[in-house]
Structure 1
């Protein structure tokens, strides 16, 4: 049975402005035990930075984490959901885009939360097959 994203998302996602550094994002990820930070411009979502982005697009490319802005390595214009979307939509988008989490935004594109495959598995057990599909997908850069 499908549920509303607003019911299953993790509210209050961590976010940093577009000009914050990789170092700042990495510190938040470490301190909060999370794998991603939303990237904003004037309070509106404009990207997502993951721990993998920091390693693959930052460190492996010999970028200085203390001076490299998130704008240089984040995934711009991520696929998003609204709080009234349903879990079936989230699962479909995760499968199609081969992603494990999706930002949840309001109608002004301001971050409200984030929904992960784990959230969906806990909510209705439907995320397990999607995780298998995503795990088989080629890595994105």
Structure 2
């Protein structure tokens, strides 16, 4: 099975200069967890719900005034739509990412695929569980002692 068989098409993006708040509102309306970020019609990054929380909200920034380019993940991972889902899963696992953009013949963005899309279409509950387990390598959390 190829990425083109499991990806979400008609991906809406957001301008790098748009506010993080606008990105969050768009994600909420579309019920998605990420948006590609564009500058001059070209993708330059991706902003995720986690990016918004960690890089904007937790940092104390004003989401209405902070541009997406400041909170986005700049390393954009793309794969061609003809990539096998197994190869895509390996690439996602290697980079510890949960979403990637899918490109067409002209290297334009034609879709987005998540680890959930791949897992749900793997055809096997065992493969699905293994994929999610491999993608869920926990980070060592910072522990705080309770103040009394």
Pair in the same fold by TM > 0.5: yes
Look up the SS of the partner of 2:80 in the other structure: coil
Q: Is the 8 A contact 1:44 1:111 kept in 2?
A: no
Higher relative contact order (CA 8 A, sep 6+): 1
1:116 Cα deviation after fit: 1.1
Residue 135, structure 1, aligned to residue 141, structure 2? no
Please give the residue correspondences for 1:1-141 in structure 2 after superposition, counting only pairs within 5 Å.
3-106=1-104, 108-125=106-123, 126-138=127-139
> Which secondary structure does the structure 2 equivalent of 1:115 belong to?
strand
Instruction: State how far apart, in whole Å, the 1-side matches of 2:128 and 2:92 are.
Output: 9
1:53-102, Cα deviation, whole Å (9 max, x unpaired) = 00100011111111101111100132111111111111101110111111
Per the normalisation by structure 2, the TM-score is 0.85
Larger Rg: 2
Mapped partners of 2:117, 2:11: distance in 1: 14
Q: RMSD of the TM alignment (CA)?
A: 1.6
Alpha-carbon distance change, 133 to 87 in structure 1, aligned in 2, over 3 angstroms: same
Distance of aligned partners of 1:70 and 1:15 in 2 relative to their CA distance in 1, 3 Å threshold: same
Segment of structure 1 superposing worse, 4-13 or 125-134: 125-134
Structure 1's consecutive aligned runs of 4 or more residues displaced over 4 angstroms after TM superposition are: none
Following superposition, the deviation at residue 105 of structure 1 comes to 2.1
How many residue pairs get matched? 137
Q: Flag structure 2 segments of 5+ consecutive residues without an equivalent.
A: 141-148
Structure 1: give runs of 5+ residues left out of the alignment: none
